[in-house]
Amino acid sequence: MPGPDPAVAAIRLAVRTALRDNGLRRVIVGCSGGADSTALAAAVAFEAPKLDAEALAMVVDHGLQDGSAQIAQDAAERVRRLGLSAQVVAVEVADSKDGPEAAARAARYAALREAAGRTEADAILLGHTQDDQAESVLLGLVRGSGLRSIAAMAPAGHGLVRPLLRISRQQTRQACAAEGLVFWDDPHNDDPRFSRVRVRRALAHLEGDLGPGLIKGLARTADLARQDADHLDAETAALQDRLGGAPWPVEELTGVPIAIRTRWWRGALAAQGAVIADLSSTHVASLETLLTGWRGQGPVDVPGRLRVRRGTGQIHVEPSGQVE
């Protein structure tokens, strides 16, 4: 008897490996009804019973387009036919300065985490593919957000597991076709108002010009960047533990590699009460001058109503209203 279609086999192997290697016995499967999450749900339905694992699919209705409630219900019913329990949860997407994509993602993740907590699930499985990973890397490069941004999405961490990061979007569609699975094509996936759509189109053009290895190469870049970022974060945490709270000795800080020190500023100031979300690269550059460009200049004000100054060979942190 012939085996499953190669795409089906690859996705099942990816899911089996993720469940086994992460020791997962109860999971939430995030399912939008698209090809990626449908292929994921089908593989989980096939593999989870073999590992004595329980799975519940969650379909999130963002309410962002006409008929979304019915679309979500239809997706849940298709998942049930695969053999998984499925629930639909409606969320309210709040306005966000980061745009509708970020707001929808935040609402979706909040709903999935609530479900995971309520059901005592070990993790949430998400259907992000290698193509999604490549898009994340390109977005990070365009934004100039640093190494952690280029590292994109981790295969596992913070209660999230992404089994399909080495699986292409084409493979998920091939798997659905091979198994006769109907899926929903979200019209938002072709709407150029969304940055992801524009990045997807740019990648398609680049791959046409540079060759078919581009997406794999970007995804591999994410893996390498994540290894480096994890190491730098660990070194930064060790430095923060060693130095503790302010004041901090200038001599010791100037001996720290800048790749670690610029990360350390953020963590150290967060512990002092700074608003890290508003601490920009410009703030960090100004803080650096207190160490490497010291000419007797005045203090640096940082978000959180804090003032950072140099004096007596140390870096001090004070309320910004304090008289020096």
Q: In this structure, what token pair is assigned to residue 231?
A: 């190491």
296 is in an annotated binding site: no
Flag whether 36 is marked binding: yes
96 labeled part of a ligand binding site: no
Flag whether 145 is marked binding.
no
Residue 223 assigned to a binding site: no
For residue 309, give the DSSP letter: E
**What are the DSSP calls for 159-206, one per residue?**
TEE-TTTTS-HHHHHHHHHHHT------GGGG-TTSHHHHHHHHHHHH
Q: What 3-state class would DSSP assign to 129?
A: coil
Annotated binding residue at 32? yes
First and final CA of the chain: distance in angstroms? 82
Question: What strand order describes the sheet that includes 156-157?
Answer: 85-90, 54-61, 26-30, 123-125, 160-161, 156-157
Helix/strand/coil percentages in the chain, nearest 5: 55, 15, 30
What's the CA gap between 24 and 51, in Å, rounded? 9
| C-alpha–C-alpha distance, residues 292 and 164, integer Å | 45
CA 76/CA 31 separation, integer angstroms: 8
Q: Which residues contact 257 (CB under 8 A, 6 or more apart)?
A: none
Binding-site annotation: residue ranges:
32-37
Binding-site annotation: residue ranges for ATP:
32-37
